[in-house]
Structure 1
């Protein structure tokens, strides 16, 4: 999540340089309800100590309304086809949603 936020912040600065800066919160879609809950929770538990610095960075950006973390179901997560093995159905559904055509498919 932190790397995604860093990329969003970089893109926001890049867009600001060319005078196209977004004036609303940026969405970082997440398919992990536990991570979203921990990010929004004001209480820090012992089991989250190992991610304290990352959690604080995320909370700071949430509080400043730079980002928001909407939940997306795993089967609707388009980035999954680029990062892990998915079923053939999810793979082809994601390709359709991204507008990518398989050039080797029979016509």
Structure 2
């Protein structure tokens, strides 16, 4: 799969995460169509996980015009799929995000916990 660059500049982290949520939703719905074509029955709604409360708020609350005027198409697409029950957006607390090891400065204890969850080892430790 080829990496795609974002064609717009986001004004906030919530806006960037919201666009990522819309992109993830498109890809998951596309996979559901392929599975349907292959006659693999999937009745469950698509589950998307998000750790940004602002993004979740925008997704479920259509009356945030001042905060969403730059992402109107994505907002309508996400809201429509949520309302139809095709997709469920689930909040995941930041503490449970294993990917934080790659994106945030963490206290040593939390860092070590995530390292062990990823199965990483310190190759510089004496054996």
Which residue number in structure 1 is paired with residue 66 of structure 2?
Answer: 46
Q: How many residues align?
A: 101
1: CA distance between counterparts of 2:29 and 2:78? 12
CA contact under 8 A between 1:27 and 1:69: conserved in structure 2? yes
Indicate which of 112, 115, 119 corresponds to 1:89: 112
CA contact under 8 A between 1:75 and 1:90: conserved in structure 2? no
Alignment of 1:56-95 (within 5 A): 56-81=76-101, 84-85=103-104, 87=106, 88-89=111-112, 91-95=114-118
Q: CA deviation at 1:23?
A: 0.2
The structure with the largest alpha-carbon Rg is 2
Structure number with the higher strand fraction is 2
Q: CA deviation at 1:84?
A: 2.4
TM-score (norm: length of structure 1): 0.76
Indicate which of 89, 99, 102 corresponds to 2:120: 102
What RMSD in Å do the two structures reach over aligned CA positions? 2.4
RCO higher in 1 or 2 (8 Å CA, sep ≥ 6)? 1
- CA, structure 1 residues 86+23, in 2 after alignment: closer, same or farther (shift >3 Å)? farther
TM-score (norm: length of structure 2): 0.65
Q: What are structure 2's unaligned runs of at least 5 residues?
A: 1-20
Q: What are structure 1's unaligned runs of at least 5 residues?
A: 96-100
